[in-house]
Amino acid sequence: MPLSSQTSIPKTPPPEHYTGMDDILIPDPGFPFDIRSEYFPFGVVGKDNDGQIEIATQVYIESTLFEQATTTHSLADRWIELHSKNESKLELLGRRELRGNEGIVQPIVNDKGEVISAPYTFSIETQGANLLSGQLMNDHDQDYRNRQVFRLYPLSAYQIFSVRIVRETQYFKSHPMFAKQYGHFLRSLQPAVATLQSTLAGNTPLTRRFYTAHFNFDTPIPAKYKGNNQWPIDHVSKRADEWHLPEGDLVVTYEIQSGYDFLPKHENAKLKSDIKGLVDNLPGYLKSIEPNKSVPEMRYIEVPFGEYAMYGSVEHKSSYASIELSTANKKGKVLVIHFSGSPALIKKYESTLLAWVTHIKVMQ
């Protein structure tokens, strides 16, 4: 795939270490960096023995790096407090530490060997279901009673990996298939990063391996395309990193957009056309509506990526600059990468960032 004439990308040696995001292998950048957060919303598709569909059931996988030391117990308190408003009609079903094989990860201890954060679980029933921000989730309105089960795994004193299922209580007796799938998912959880040797093969038939930056696990896949008994990503999974460069910090975000029905060839042609049109026309449009206001400098770029390329733009404003790249890497899936920082930082490291992108791998 030819590159824009404005872009040159140096050849760099392949990285030694990777982390995973769904079926993407993300190389370590070669600078100190933090993985600030991850978010993977699975929309469960299942049926009972009579073919009745179970709807509004989600499994949320997240990890968060907190600014202050945070324990799994205190995070559980925050969730329970969030759901304790009158309209939620909270019922606490139980809470406890996860021990033995259930724990999966080791407790976090202080310098005296005292446990300060241990693997933890709690269950609640509520009217509807809220995110930690307090916003109501679209698929869990107040008309239905939901059971929510949380599992919290401490990765450090500042970082917690969480698994949360939200399910209408009516389905617990009528749709038993989920319990079997969820049990296999829990048994397959492994606190390990992806490597170049990682594959998408699950531990059992009709499962696939799914990767996050800190864990990997099995998810069900249907016997037939678009069949039941599967955990597809509910449109968009996200990850946010922070690279600590000598001249300042750079924020890197990733999105994998899933659940659509297109071929990569067709979607990439559309992405390329749309981005080029935006770069060519947006500055003039902004100038036409506010003649006295400065407009960003924008430049179209292409970066080699597998069979196709990543298509994007470099944007410079007075106090902010960014690089955004997109590609359809598989049928129905788009990967979006966004770098943001000071104009001086983006300008100095542009070629380094684009060279790093070429080392991202897509697992088959």
CATH 3.40.1000 domain position(s) in the chain: 53-173
Mean pLDDT by runs of 10 across the 364 residues of the chain is 53 90 95 96 81 82 95 95 85 95 93 93 89 56 86 97 93 85 94 93 92 96 70 90 97 91 89 90 76 82 90 91 94 94 95 95 90
**CATH number among 3.30.1450, 2.30.30, 3.30.70, 3.40.1000, domain 53-173:** 3.40.1000
Q: For the chain, what is the HEC assignment? A: CCCCCCCCCCCCCCCCCEEEEECEEEECCCCCEEEEEEEEEEECEEECCCCCEECCCEEEEEEEECCCCCCHHHHHHHHHHHCCCHHHCCEEEEEEECCHHHCCCCCEECCCCCEEECCEEEEEEEECCECCCCCECCCCCCCCEEEEEEEEEECCCCEEEEEEEEEECCHHHHCCHHHHHHHHHHHHCECCCCCCCCCCECCCCCEEEEECCCCEEEEECCCCCCCCCECCECCEEEEEEEEEECCEEEEEEEEEECCCCCCHHHHHHHHHHHHHHHHHHHHHHHHHHCCCCCCCEEEEEEEEECCEEEEEEEEECCCCEEEEEEEEEECCEEEEEEEEECHHHHHHHHHHHHHHHCCCEECC
Q: pLDDT tens digit string along 301-356?
A: 999 998 889 999 999 988 899 999 999 988 889 999 999 999 999 999 999 999 99
Q: What is the pLDDT of residue 1?
A: 37
Q: What is the pLDDT of residue 55?
A: 75
Q: What is the pLDDT of residue 96?
A: 97
Q: What is the pLDDT of residue 132?
A: 57
Q: What is the pTM of this model?
A: 0.91
Q: What is the pLDDT of residue 4?
A: 42
Q: What is the pLDDT of residue 3?
A: 41
Q: What is the pLDDT of residue 66?
A: 95
Q: What is the pLDDT of residue 116?
A: 93
